[in-house]
Each structure stands twice: as structure tokens, then as C-alpha cells.
Amino acid sequence: MATKEQTDPRNNFTPRILPWLLAAAVFVVYWLTLNHWVSLFNYQAVAKMSGWIWQPEVYNPLFYLVTFPFRWLPAAQIPVALNLFSAGCAALTLGLLARSVAILPQDRTDAQREREHSSFSFLTIGSAWLPPVFAVLVCGLQMTFWEQATNCTSEMFELLLFAFVVWSLLEYRLDEREGRLFLAATVFGAGMTENWAMVGFLPLFLTAIIWIRGLSFFSLRFLSRMFLCGLVGLMFYLLLPLLASLSHKVPVTFWEALKVNLFSELSYVKVFFVRPEIRKSVLLLSIASVLPVVVIAVRWRSSFGDNSKLGLALTSFMVHLIQAILLFICVWVAFDPPFSPRNFSLLKQIGFLPPFLTFYYLGALSVGYFTGYFLLIFGKLAEARSRSRPGRTIPDPWQPLNRLIFAGVWLFVAFAVTGLVYKNLPQIRSANDDTFKTFGALVAENLPAAGGICLSDDSRRTILVQAALVREGRAGDYLLVDTASLAVPAYHSYLHKTSPRRWPDTISAAEQTNGIPPLHLIGLLAMLARTNELYYLHPSFGYYFEQFYLEPHGLVYKLNTLPDTTLLPPLPDKNLIAANEAFWARAEKLAFEPIIRSLTPPDLDTPKSFGDKLLTLFHVTREPNPNAGAAGAFYSRSLNFWGVQAQGASELKAAAADFETAKAVNPDNLVAQINLDFNQSLQAGQIVTVDLSKATADKFGKYRSFNQVLTENGPFDEPSFTFENGVVLMRGGLSRQAAAPFERVHQLAPDNLPARLWLAQCYLAS
């Protein structure tokens, strides 16, 4: 007689060993495709772990705890270590997914119950390993999941918590240990402090427990313990506000920090109820995630009142059809068609597009179940017996068709996995390439060897440059300053603590309370310029530039004090022009080719491969390299600025080449296109006119304001737009900066009276 250990399906290879083999295998895949530096996904996490963020942390308390040891690592090792941590979380998540699929009960329909008689209704057929493997591959190869697995964000860790809760509920079905439910409640409560989406899943979590426990759920003892366990998890809300109030990093109280934390999560939950378009979109996305799970949870009868052979056959056919459709949709969504969470057009339009990893996870869980369903139904004979001759199995007349469907399932799995690899592997390689490492190196090469102070109002550039300096061992020579935070007194305290030699403590008691006025900041920078080299990391404008002008050196800009005798910055000399042209020629060779190739639309006349034709058939497209778009915008803005400088120095051919390259690395740079068109008219000797009707808001395309156009694309050097630029600066109280664009209009169109009058006002105001 067989022992219990020999017959217990929980000891089989598929539920017991396979999940951890899969976890190890996918970890190797993520390790091989890992991003080894800073990216658009992980730059905030890297900055926090490296101590480059001055604000106290009030979000993601569990993520803060588990990643705290990374703060002890050398700064150069933190990006890779964090990305490996995310890969580990992804591998554990997929291991739990495989285990969850393996222990899903295959007894939802009569057909399943006729074929599978093992304890707990585990799959015991020879191909029982395929559903967990397929589920793991569908989830793990999906683009959003793969990105988050190879770039550290809190999202992957939060998904691990969600996967743990799902796994705990399924394990409870096997051993009925209440401790699993109590632990699940604790983790779910803690997950709510991490991710607002867990709040949305709370009704489903409670429904699942009621479904599993039945009437015993309403036991007062059980409910009280579940409530207390959930409350313990929710107590993590208090951790980071408490640490923020005790650290004295900024003058914030415990209640103020807690209010910021709670308000952030509640605002996300509130938007679901306030914005009907978001609510409808999320409900539509649930069709390929939540709805299949609901179908899995229900035990279906063999018929719905009609017990005739035809009725039973129709019912069976409808059940097969529904589950086949759900399987196909769940797999299709993993390819990210237009209605997937990653590409849902309506959510993109309103700027609300979280990763939705929980939706992809539930979809993959459903894929595993439905795959097992079809393998069982069409791969194993039902034990139907003859009534007249007991012990004799009735032959199945549909067996040849069953074998065909069974083979079709295997073909579908192979086709889907191959398609995901074909579509997403090139994308993940480009997403984790060296684009930003090259950008950081190009920025760092023009910073002075003696060190200095680097300013920027773009946190992405600041962190990328900081990481580049850390990699080169030069971080201690520079102080990187976020100009958007300079009005906050606590930020000055942080800068002084970080570099007391470079940043003095000049904030008075009154300013600690009332904030720092612009005049103080301008004076502070003027004082710092006497003893430090000041650089800006990109072209910009604002009240800092009432005192300084930008001298371009490749991708960095030295802040020089404006001459006392004029409001106009000097034009670049021949040496500066030669140095910048040489830099941009070298940068074009090192960095621009992959960016331009990625951003260039495909040639419609080029024959498509068979794989691309299939992707097009299912409305699936490869996305452009996100690094190319962001880095291209960085380069384009600086190139356009340099083109304006060269054009102002009468280097028209060099300026035209700069504008053309700026347009190539960022096709959306409308300023570069306008400047290029004007450059061509200048080279053609055409008469220059000022037409203010050109510089209207309808010419700005996706940009909402004139300031946003300048911020994203760089300055204009076309008289109509340059004139409008001067007017905008004057209306903003920046009269010293406004002088340069009005003087440029006066140079190009000497007879334009409004430009001369505005220029006079600039000098009078200054």
C-alpha cells in the first residue's frame, strides 16, 4: 500500500520544486539583461539610497526598510545593487506565481472533476508542468514587468507583497492554517501603506477570504484577529513620518509628514471616484485580469437546467469557448496591444498611467489556470462508465479532435512565448543600454578639474551627472544644486551640511520662517562666483540670469557675471566656437547614431519580416527606445542653444548644421525647426521682417505655454519669436534678460521701432 508521502500531490515535482527552479532561471535572465547604471526608471531610488535627496522620505515605508542596507554601500555600487534587488523581487514574485498556478484547483467544472481525482484537484497529468512555466513566461517577459525587474523601483517590491497575499490564500486551502490568513492580512495592510492600488483590491481580498472560509468568517474571534493583524500592517504609515520628525532634516512635524503621506494615497483613490473616465478605463482593463480570476473562483454546474445531450453539449462548448477567449485575451494583453494597461490610450491622454503590475500578474495567473484546463480536458480521457456493463469505459468518439486541440495548446504556448521574446528582447536591450552613461560622461568631461558648483532645475540631469561623477571618482569635487529648491531654507542647510566649504550658511532667522527672496539668492550666487566655478547643466532662464549669462562648453554652461557697462552677454569668440564645434562633432560620433536610428520612423516601403507582420496583424507594435527620446531631448536643447550662439556670431553654416542635428535627435523640437528655416532665409539673403502673428499659441503644438517651449527646446533666433520671447521676459520682471532678445531683433530688423522701444525700457528698468 502506498504511503501518504508517496501519494500526496503536494510533494510532486510541479508544485514543490518547479517554482523555485523557475525563479532561479528568470533571475539569470534578468541578471543578463540588467541595467548596470542609472535609468529613467531607477534614478529616484538611486538618488535616495545615495543621499542625494534633501527632502525627508515619507512614502513607501516597507521599501525604505528593506533597502536601507544599500545606503551603506559605496555610491558607485548602489545602482547595480538596487537593480539586482529588483531582479530578486521579480524572481520571487514569479516563483510564487508558479506555485500559485500549480496549486490552483482544477475542479471548477464537471469535465475537470471527471478527469482529475487527485487530492486538492492538483494537475497530475504528464504536462502538469506546462501551465506554471507558461504563466511565468507570460508575466516575466511582458515589457513593463521586465523593465521593472531590471531597474529598481518600489513597484516590483510592492508586487511581491501582492503575490505573497495571493499565494497565502491558495495555501490556506491546502492546510487550513489560520496563521496564513493572519499573516496575509498583516502583509496586505502593510501593502496598503506602500501602494494605493492595494486599497482598490481590499474588497476583493475580503471577498476571497469569505469565499474560502464560508460562514466561519463571521466568527468574532477570527474577525477581531484579522482586524488586529491588518491594523499592525497599517501601522507602517507611522514609521516614516516619525523618522522625518526625529531626523530634523527639515522642520516638519510628525502630523505634517503623516498628512502628506495619507493625502497622496487618498488623492489617487479619490481620482478613481471623481474621474469617470479613469474608473471606466480601469474597469475595462479588469476584463483581462480581475474577471478571469472571478471565473476561476466559481464551481460551474454541468448544465443550467437543460439535461438533454444537446443541452449538455452546448453548455460544455460554451464553457470551453469562454475560457479559450479569456486565455487568448490574457495572453494578448501581455503583448501590450492598444487596450493593454501599458498603452491604454485614454489613460495616456490624461497622464494617469501607473505600471499596473498587479493586473498583469492576475492575467498571468489566469493564463496558467486556463492552460491547465485545456491540457486536462483534451489531454486526458474522462472516466465515463457504461451503465449496462459496469467496469467498461465508454470510447470517446471525439478523441482525435481532442488530440488536435491538445496539440494546439502546445503550439499556442510555443507561439506566444516566441512572440514575447521576439517583441520585447530588443526593447529591453535598448531600454537598458548605455545611452545615459554616455550622456553623463560627455557632461562630466567639460566640468573643470578643480571642481565647482553645478546648478540645474532638472532633477533627472542632476542625478545622471552626479552618478557620472561618482563613477569617475570626482563626486567630492562638485556640489550639485537644485535651483528649484533654493527658495526653501531647509535646502540651504542641507547644502551647507553636504559641503560647508563651498556653500556657506547665510540664512537668517527671518528667512527660515518666511522663505528666501530672489534678491538674496542672486546675491548669494554672486558671492559664490568669487570663490567657485559656477556651471549650469543646461540652457535656462529666470531671475538667476539677471546677474549672469551662460558661456557654453559642450553640455555645460559656465555662469559668468554680466559686464557692468552693458546688459548684453558677449558673443562667443573663435576659440570658444572651435571648442564647441569639436565637442559636438565628437558627441555626434559617440552618441547620436543610435538615438537618430531609434527615433526615425520605419520606411514603409521596406518589406516586413514574418514576425513583424504577425505583430501588426494583432495590433502590436514595438515601442521606440525611451532612452533615445529623453537623451535626444537633452542633446537637442543644448544643440539648439549652441546653434543660436553660432548664428549670432554669423557662423550661419555651422548654425544650420547644429539646428539640423538638434532636429534629428529630437524631431519634436519645433524651435530648432523654426531657427533652421530662418537660418536658410538668412543664407539666401532674404529681407528680415517681424510678424507677431507667427508667435501665437497655436504654433506651439503639444506645449501649453511659451515658457514651456523654451524650457523643452531652447531659445529662438527668429525675429518674430525672439521679439515675443523678450516681451514674455519683460512681463515676468526679467528686464536684464529681455535686453538680449530685443537687441537681436534690432540687429536683424534695424527699422523695427517696437524692438527699439522695448530695448529702451529694458535699460530704463535696469
DSSP 452: E
DSSP 448: -
Q: What is the DSSP string of 624-680?
A: PPHHHHHHHHHHHHHHHHHHHHHHHTT-HHHHHHHHHHHHHH-TT-HHHHHHHHHHH
Q: Is residue 533 within 8 Å of 451, Cβ to Cβ?
A: yes
**C-alpha cell read off for 510:** 527671518
The terminus-to-terminus CA distance of the chain in angstroms comes to 101
pLDDT at 508: 63
What does DSSP say about strands 556-561 and 452-456: parallel, antiparallel, or unpaired? unpaired
Q: Which residues pair with 559 in a beta bridge?
A: 550
pLDDT at 661: 95
**C-alpha cell read off for 484:** 528649484
Which amino acid, residue 367? Answer: V
Report the alpha-carbon distance of residue 338 to residue 710 in Å, rounded.
32
**C-alpha cell read off for 183:** 499573516
User: Which residues 6+ apart lie within 8 Å of 729 measured at CB?
Assistant: 541, 735, 737, 738, 741
HSE (side-chain half, CA atoms, 13 Å) at 611? 11
Q: Is residue 251 within 8 Å of 206, Cβ to Cβ?
A: no
pLDDT at 77: 95
DSSP 151: S
pLDDT digits (tens, 9 = 90+) for 559-597: 999 888 888 888 899 999 999 999 999 999 999 999 998
pLDDT at 546: 86
pLDDT at 305: 55
Report the alpha-carbon distance of residue 254 to residue 277 in Å, rounded.
36
Q: Which residues pair with 557 in a beta bridge?
A: 536, 552
Which residues of the chain register pLDDT less than 70?
1-7, 301-309, 311, 344-353, 381-399, 508-514, 604-605, 696-699
User: Which residues 6+ apart lie within 8 Å of 10 measured at CB?
Assistant: 16, 103, 119, 120, 122, 174
- Identify the CA nearest to 595 among candidates 566, 574, 568, 624: 624
Q: Which residues pair with 481 in a beta bridge?
A: 455
Q: Is residue 237 within 8 Å of 262, Cβ to Cβ?
A: yes
pLDDT at 642: 95
Tell me the three state secondary structure of residue 561.
strand
For the whole model, what pTM was predicted?
Answer: 0.91
pLDDT at 426: 92
Going along 457-555, which residue ranges are E strands?
A: 478-482, 534-536, 548-553
**C-alpha cell read off for 287:** 476584463
Report the alpha-carbon distance of residue 137 to residue 36 in Å, rounded.
23
Going along 371-438, which residue ranges are E strands?
A: none
Residue 421: count other Cβ atoms within 10 Å of its Cβ. 12
Backbone φ and ψ of 453, nearest 5° = -115, 125
pLDDT at 385: 43
Continuous segment of H or E residues that includes residue 455: strand 452-456
Report the alpha-carbon distance of residue 458 to residue 484 in Å, rounded.
8
HSE (side-chain half, CA atoms, 13 Å) at 255? 0
Continuous segment of H or E residues that includes residue 717: none
pLDDT digits (tens, 9 = 90+) for 709-746: 888 999 999 999 999 999 988 988 888 888 999 999 99
- Identify the CA nearest to 315 among candidates 113, 121, 110, 114: 110
Which amino acid, residue 304? Answer: F
pLDDT at 301: 64
pLDDT at 541: 87
pLDDT at 396: 53
In b/e form, how buried is each residue of 182-216, taking b as 16+ CB within 10 angstroms? Answer: bbbbbbbbbbbbbbbbbebbeeebeebbeebbeee
